[in-house]
Amino acid sequence: MPERDSEGPYPGYDVLAKRSSPSWNDKTRTVIDERLSLPAQPRFFDAHEFATVQAIAARLVPQPRARPPIPVAAMVDHKMHTDRSDGYRRVGMPRQREAWRQGLAALDAEAREAHGKDFLALSGSDQDDLLRRLQKGRTKSPAWGAMPPKDFFETRLARDVVLAYYSYPSAWSEIGWGGPASPRGYVRMGFDERDPWEGAEVRNGDVEAARRKNLNV
């Protein structure tokens, strides 16, 4: 999965440009500021685990070169460090912290069995292949123990990585989302209608028209 080069369908749109506007209240600003200031060094994962999460994220949510990368691994680490759970888990799945530690160790065990080296040392295509096998539950290592590998992929690995990516402001800009709509809310509620403080999507290939609108959001 190569990095994406495209600027995306919302050129020039930056959700943070309206940080001080009526679109966001103080609570929203506080939450976003905390998210933007997460430490680069892990507080839950060890160095090897953290690097493995970074490698997994690079395969699941490849990022465009046009902007600084979203710190997906740091966000997953923060969730584990604070132990903010989802409030539920599937039968047979351990608690999230235990699931991540066991799952990463088992992923390395699978990689060593198939290729003789840890997941981090594999080529991108071999990493993709191993993640696909994990997604389908086609794994062999006893390191998984009683934890269903497919459930680990669905409820922890993919879920935590994708939710981390799309909870970051630059991902919101990428998809034209304005962030929490508190206290402003929405006015134009009809199908495919856009409030003037929302991102403008490219229409009929006119990139510059969308850019002009987005620079004035």
Q: Pinpoint the alpha helices (H) of the chain.
A: 26-36, 47-60, 72-82, 96-115, 124-135, 149-152, 158-165, 169-175, 207-215
- In the chain, what's the furthest Cα-to-Cα distance? 58
Q: CA-to-CA distance for 144 and 139, rounded, in angstroms?
A: 9
Answer yes or no: pTM beyond 0.85: yes
* Per-residue pLDDT of the chain in tens (217 residues, 90 and over written 9): 444 555 789 999 999 998 888 888 999 999 999 999 999 899 999 999 999 999 999 999 999 888 899 999 999 999 999 999 999 999 999 999 999 999 999 999 999 999 999 999 999 999 999 999 999 999 989 999 999 999 999 999 999 999 999 999 999 999 999 888 878 888 888 888 888 888 999 999 999 999 999 988 7
Q: Could you give the CA distance from residue 69 to residue 48 in angstroms, rounded to a whole number? A: 20
